[in-house]
């Protein structure tokens, strides 16, 4: 993960200059991210893995962004696919660095069962041009699955890094 994150941040600072960007009502954004994921299994210990996600968001006000995302997670022993919705509240909306907090909820289809996921997120977008940004965010996911699997997989902590394009 460090090999992915460090070049991304170096690129952001190299391209940044004095870009004045930000977000506002009616902006749309498409994003691509990769993550390092730590999963805590209640019955079987923990594991580290990586995941990929593609998202789309629309700013309904200058601060509020509503979005959808689809993702995949591939780890030793199982595969997991998800689709969900999110809401993010952005601070400093006209700055080059735009921090945010939010929440997500979604559906998960995994080798070991289907279920739901939800949790809070916190992060920041760093605009390198008027429309392009790199972002980093941390999310906590609580998972619940049908049948007994809900007693096995309880929570995930994910650190995501990616790029976003505003249009």
3-state SS assignment for residue 88: strand
Q: Give domain status of residue 157, yes or no.
A: yes
Q: Check residue 48 and give its pLDDT.
A: 72
CB burial of 107-142 (b: ≥16 within 10 Å; e: otherwise) equals ebebeeeebbbbbebebbbbbbeeebbbbbbebebe
Asked whether residue 128 is assigned to any structural domain, the reply reads: no
CATH code for the domain of 109: 2.40.160.20
Q: Which residue has the tokens 């030793």?
A: 76
Question: How many domains in the chain?
Answer: 1
Q: What is the pLDDT along the chain (167 residues), one digit of tens a residue?
A: 555 556 655 555 555 455 567 899 999 999 999 987 776 665 556 677 888 999 999 999 999 999 999 999 887 777 889 999 999 999 999 999 999 999 999 999 887 778 888 999 999 999 999 999 999 999 998 888 775 554 555 677 888 999 999 99
69, part of any domain = yes
Q: Is residue 133 part of a domain?
A: no
- pTM over cut 0.85: no
N-to-C CA span, the chain: 29
Instruction: Output the pLDDT for position 14.
Output: 53
Q: Do the domain assignments include residue 22? A: yes
Q: Does any domain span residue 28?
A: yes
Give the structural domain span for 54.
Answer: 2-120+139-166
Question: What pLDDT does residue 40 have?
Answer: 66
Residue 129 belongs to a domain: no
Distance CA 132, CA 122 (A): 19
């Amino acid at each position: 993960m460090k090999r992915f994150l460090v070049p991304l941040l170096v690129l952001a600072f190299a391209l940044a200059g004095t870009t004045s960007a930000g977000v506002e009502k009616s902006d749309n954004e498409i994003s691509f991210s990769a993550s390092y994921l730590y999963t805590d299994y209640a019955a079987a210990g923990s594991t580290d893995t990586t995941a990929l996600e593609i998202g789309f968001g629309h700013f309904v006000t200058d601060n509020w962004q509503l979005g959808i995302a689809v993702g995949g997670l591939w780890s030793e022993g199982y595969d997991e696919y998800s689709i969900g919705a999110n809401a993010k509240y952005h601070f400093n909306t006209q700055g080059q660095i735009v921090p945010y907090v939010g929440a997500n909820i979604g559906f998960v289809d995994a080798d070991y069962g289907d279920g739901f996921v939800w949790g809070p997120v916190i992060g920041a977008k760093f605009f390198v041009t008027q429309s392009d940004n790199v972002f980093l965010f941390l999310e906590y996911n609580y998972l619940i699955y049908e049948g007994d699997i809900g007693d096995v997989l309880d929570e995930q902590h994910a650190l995501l890094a990616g790029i976003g394009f505003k249009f």
